[in-house]
Amino acid sequence: MKMKLDPNHPKPLTAAQRKRLQAVADQPDGSIDYSDIAAMSAKFWAKHRPERIEPKAQVTLRIDQDVIDYFKGGGKGYQTRINDVLRSFVAAHAPRQR
């Protein structure tokens, strides 16, 4: 028998499911075994970005309209792409640390 899940109307969790989830949530991160998870491929990382810990600063910049249009043309996430370009520039021009 096939079951369909509706992500907009999930079934409520049972008491046993809530208990199991709470047991996992209560574990310290260091005790979780991740050894059965496959390594992520370059194709995966091309579409997904690791979460950055450092906060971003909100600034106002004057950028040529054609540059903004180019980045916006790539769809959602254009500010992140601009940040990535700036980050790669910094990485290429920063003094080398030894």
Distance CA 69, CA 71 (A): 6
For the entire predicted model, the pTM comes to 0.46
Residue extents of the structural domains in the chain: 58-98
Sequential pLDDT tens for the chain (98 residues): 777 888 888 889 999 999 999 998 998 988 888 888 888 788 887 777 777 778 889 999 999 999 999 999 998 889 989 998 998 898 888 887 65
